């Protein structure tokens, strides 16, 4: 009756990955990063399922934070980019959120607003990402200003890495050095590691880690590692064959005639397209699994459908299951075939695709 495209979310795997992050960081505190609707997995569902284990939840803005707070999430919510306007301090106070601070005007606002009970804040140090945060001099002044405020309980030093996913890069070491140089004279907690840091750079674990993509089972690292191999797949994007056709040699498939058959070819049409969030830029040869067997995309992905090679599957029929990514098809391989990263694939899944939660 219904179109079969769906994203099954394995919540037990999500919890496994969160607990793995904690284990790798030797039990340090871990902010589960669930911004952008938990990277497309559903923030409310993810947060409720993790709320008995998570130390905190990280989001990008007050709108995302309020959605969680108003749904009754207990662990503290961290605003990773801080507040965008001073009037957000009121809901931050009301729901006892933890905000990042990256600019002078935010310090001014914090000096002018008193939380009803002391709250911790994270102060961003720019160790080399050069996006948000204070330089060493500004950082020292900012810490001094925040430590004077009675309504701030703790000041936590935070920084973000530009290439912790590149295991051969020496830039992460440089950033760590810059961070310690700026922070070590203050008695404050450290919060540095994203997923790549959590998985691969133990010297970045500090007091708090901030795992994001690894919670969703995808490694950001540019090489396979033993730690990354312990991640469990969370999202399975699947659909079904809705038509099958036999084409002779020399016929094209789909828009722009990108793919031309080199032999007589059995072609499967799958109910999944770029309006579902599947990447339109996926090349011919991008892996998919039909009936649990690996095959490839042939022809351009269209809005609602895509075409796959069934030449090795003479028995495939309409209604057979297709996995676009999940346990069989590595999302990182699909990303590589579309010249992108797992993050954009996960966050790009549209509302047309029902999320189905499995515990
Ligand atoms: C998104 C984000 C993270 C998580 O990054 P991953 O690479 O997904 O682990 C960590 N810290 C900050 C500040 C972020 O914005």
Average of per-residue pLDDT across 305-314: 97
Q: Is 211 in the pocket of ligand 1 (CB under 6 A)?
A: yes
Average of per-residue pLDDT across 177-201: 97
281 and 173 in a single domain? The answer is no
Question: Residue 249 catalytic?
Answer: no
Last residue of a domain, one of 222, 254, 279: 222
Average of per-residue pLDDT across 154-178: 97
CATH code, 247? 2.40.37.10
232-268 pLDDT tens trace: 999 999 999 999 999 999 999 999 999 999 999 999 9
CATH code, 165? 3.20.20.10
250 and 104 in a single domain? The answer is no
94-123 pLDDT tens trace: 999 999 999 999 999 999 999 999 999 999
Confidence of residue 359 (pLDDT cuts 50, 70, 90): confident
CB-count exposure of residue 26 (10 Å: 0-12, 13-18, 19+): exposed
Domain total in the chain:
2
Average of per-residue pLDDT across 18-38: 97
Q: Is 194 in the pocket of ligand 1 (CB under 6 A)?
A: yes
Answer positive or negative: Cα dihedral of 152, 157, 159, 165.
negative
pLDDT, mean over the chain: 97
CA of 319 to the centre of ligand 1 (A): 39
Cβ contact 306:338 at 8 Å: no
Backbone torsion region of residue 70, taken as left when φ is above 0, otherwise alpha when ψ lies between -120 and 50, otherwise beta: alpha
Q: Is 200 in the pocket of ligand 1 (CB under 6 A)?
A: no
Can you give the length of the chain in residues?
359
Q: Is residue 4 part of a domain?
A: no
Average of per-residue pLDDT across 334-349: 98
Q: Is residue 161 part of a domain?
A: yes
CA of 64 to the centre of ligand 1 (A): 15
pTM above 0.85, yes or no: yes
Residue 81 has what pLDDT?
97
63-85 pLDDT tens trace: 999 999 999 999 999 999 999 99
Q: Which helix (H) or strand (E) element contains residue 47?
A: helix 43-50
271-291 pLDDT tens trace: 999 999 999 999 999 999 999
CA of 194 to the centre of ligand 1 (A): 5
Residue 1 has pLDDT above 70, yes or no: no
* CA nearest ligand 1 atom 4, residue: 212
Give the residue among 69, 117, 77 at the shortest CA–CA distance from 93.
117
Domain assignment of residue 140, given as a range: 11-222
Of 141, 177, 249, 255, the active-site residue reads: 255
Question: Residue 343 catalytic?
Answer: no
Cβ neighbours for 141, distance < 8 A, ≥ 6 positions apart: 134
Answer positive or negative: Cα dihedral of 255, 259, 261, 266.
negative
The Cα 46–Cα 51 span in angstroms is 8
- What proportion of the chain, given as a percentage, has pLDDT over 70? 100
């Amino acid at each position: 009756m219904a179109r079969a495209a769906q994203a099954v979310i394995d919540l037990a795997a999500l919890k496994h990955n969160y607990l793995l992050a904690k284990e790798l960081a030797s039990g340090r505190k871990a902010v589960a990063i669930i911004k952008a609707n938990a990277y497309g997995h559903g923030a409310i569902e993810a947060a409720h399922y993790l709320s008995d284990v998570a130390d905190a939840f990280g989001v990008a803005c007050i709108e995302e934070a309020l959605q969680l707070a108003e749904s009754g999430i207990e662990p503290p919510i961290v605003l990773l980019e801080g507040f965008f306007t001073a009037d957000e301090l009121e809901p931050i106070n009301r729901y006892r959120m933890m905000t990042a601070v990256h600019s002078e005007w935010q310090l001014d606002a914090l000096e002018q607003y008193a939380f009803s009970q002391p709250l911790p804040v994270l102060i961003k140090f720019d160790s080399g990402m050069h996006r948000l945060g204070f330089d060493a001099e500004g950082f020292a002044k900012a810490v001094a200003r925040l430590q004077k405020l009675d309504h701030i309980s703790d000041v936590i030093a935070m920084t973000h890495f530009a290439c912790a996913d590149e295991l051969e890069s020496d830039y992460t070491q440089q950033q760590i050095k810059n961070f310690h140089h700026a922070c070590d004279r203050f008695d404050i907690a450290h919060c540095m590691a994203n997923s790549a840091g959590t998985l691969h750079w133990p010297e970045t674990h500090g007091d708090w880690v901030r795992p994001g993509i690894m919670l969703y089972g995808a490694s950001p690292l540019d090489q396979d590692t033993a730690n990354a191999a312990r991640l469990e797949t969370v999202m399975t994007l699947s659909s079904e064959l809705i038509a099958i056709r036999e084409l002779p040699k020399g016929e094209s498939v789909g828009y722009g005639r990108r793919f031309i058959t080199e032999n007589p070819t059995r072609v499967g049409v799958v109910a999944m397209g770029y309006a579902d969030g599947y990447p339109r830029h996926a090349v011919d040869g991008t892996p998919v699994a039909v009936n649990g067997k690996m095959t490839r995309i042939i022809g351009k992905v269209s809005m609602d459908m895509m075409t796959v090679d069934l030449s090795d599957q003479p028995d495939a029929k309409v209604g057979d299951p297709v996995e676009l990514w999940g346990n069989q098809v590595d999302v990182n391989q699909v990303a590589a075939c579309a010249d992108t990263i797992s993050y954009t694939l996960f966050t790009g899944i549209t509302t047309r695709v029902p999320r189905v939660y499995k515990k």
